A and B are shown apart, each in its own frame.
Chain A
């Protein structure tokens, strides 16, 4: 048996790598040196640009792709080295949902949810009980006898989720499960995933190319770029202090973090001669998010502050704020030192003349 003892993580990637043979000659390195522990019961977002290797990474968790280097371990099983029968057993412990749902058009909602149970050889009466229960959980009682072609995208994904949960897996893999849905439907599907995570203690690994999805439900995030993990950690920390340019560019899509275009166009990296303003990003974390720090800055140090953009949101239970401000460049250092003393993160974005 390819059993390995691990540190209690639900999924462990250890120096995992994957290369594909290119048509003609040579190889494409899809993933390189991926090491990551996914704790049980967490929702981990995997974010990256198209072609970064997200799907490849996810598909190695249930053995749809074989690693060419390193290992991926799921609940103590080395997936890459598992034989066919063991792999099928592992797969029953790992549910998967897809961007395009991948429902059987020839089966009703009921039939689709029953399929994994039929495959696992569960007896008929037990199948009926479990399927009815699952269809109720995803709120599709009235649609049990409908065919997928008669459902909306959001309803189809609910069927996909019920189907993925049928064999009572410990891990759920989601490959862009909300990318084909409108924003409102996306919210309801994300809510369902969050509920399932909470109620069933399921570990969810979720691919997305939208930071908003990560912010809304992921407790942890890993950013992939060019086949490598360039940044990983708790969502809150990564949002508060993004280190890698890719992470920042993803965060830029979120409200309050983009510079208004009239400023962005004039922004220069070097401080110009003469009078100028220093543009600063301030990240409010935890309790300070609600403190009137900017007002204090003005009243205590006498530095006037222009607010350019900003928003306060929630990541998990924590308030999280992001403000873009400008101050007189000659007093920038002083202002930043003050803010940092009060545990706010600051970052100089540039100068405007």
Chain B
């Protein structure tokens, strides 16, 4: 493989990492509070408001049912408005983020709902406000679950990021299609697939390691 191709691969890897990192971070920024709200606004919960919950749930479901490639094309005007252009790697972050937000919201919601209701009761009995309960009880207690959820989301984003070539987003997926498929260079395709596999493995191991680190539920042998 020529030095030129290796440079292309490195560049594409960095572009993928850039898109995934930014859209993952933005997706968490918006998805986390939405997910928390989805969990606590259910009937009988901390901030019970079943109607808002239902509407928000519908929007989240709708966003999640649009196939990603259609989402990318459908929101081109919105992308242009936000990113100033609808073409390129930075522009691709917009649809990636929009796909990540509802996904992360649902994962966070599930993690929060796993928290033992006895803990909420204990915090209420201490005189905690709903916001204090969220900040000091629900989120810290759900952190192992949230960490695993975010790992899953980042892995999915790596997959999605391969499709943004359609709007001129670059990265590994785009490189694989342009060189590996259109110019018929199977070694590029193979290299791209190997890098993606390694990336996903790294993210998965890192996420699981982090989740274990923040999970204090199981007693562990601390080197004793």
Contact = CB atoms under 8 A, between A and B. Distances in A.
Given A106-B143, A107-B140, A115-B136, A88 B127 contact: yes
A96 B125 contact: yes
Given A64-B124, A94-B125, 11 more contacts: A87-B127, A88-B128, A89-B127, A91-B125, A98-B121, A100-B118, A105-B141, A105-B216, A107-B140, A116-B127, A119-B123
B85 interface: no
A92 interface: yes
B122 interface: yes
Nearest to A96: B125
Interface string A111-136: 00001101110000000000000000
Interface string B105-130: 00000000000101101111111110
Given A119-B136, A149-B216, A104 B141 contact: yes
Interface in B204-223: 214, 216-219
Interface string A137-168: 00000000001111000000000000000010
Interface string A78-89: 000000000111
B201 interface: no
Nearest 8 CB-CB pairs, A to B?
A: A91-B127, A88-B127, A102-B122, A102-B118, A116-B126, A147-B216, A96-B125, A106-B140
Contacts of B141: 104-106
Contact of A102 (B116, B216, B218): B116
B118 A118 contact: no
A104 B137 contact: yes
B116 A119 contact: no
A62 B119 contact: no
Contact of B126 (A98, A107, A167, A173): A167
Nearest to A173: B125
18 contacts: A64-B121, A64-B124, A89-B127, A92-B126, A98-B121, A102-B116, A102-B121, A104-B141, A105-B141, A105-B216, A106-B140, A106-B214, A115-B123, A119-B123, A119-B136, A120-B126, A149-B217, A149-B218
B61 interface: no
Contacts of A173: 125
Contact of B118 (A87, A90, A98): A98
Contacts of B118: 98, 100, 102
B53 to A, nearest CB: 20
Given A102-B116, A104-B137, A96 B127 contact: no
B139 to A, nearest CB: 9
A227 B197 CA distance: 62
B157 to A, nearest CB: 27
B140 A119 contact: no
Contacts of A149: 216-219
Contact of B136 (A62, A88, A118, A167): A118
B210 to A, nearest CB: 14
Interface in B45-95: none
Contacts of A106: 140-141, 143, 214, 216
Contacts of B122: 96, 98, 102-103
Contact of B140 (A64, A103, A104): A104
Contact of B125 (A64, A118, A120): A64
A149 B219 CA distance: 5
B136 A105 contact: no
Contact of A120 (B116, B127, B216): B127
Contacts of B119: 102, 104
Contacts of A64: 121, 124-125
A148 B121 CA distance: 18
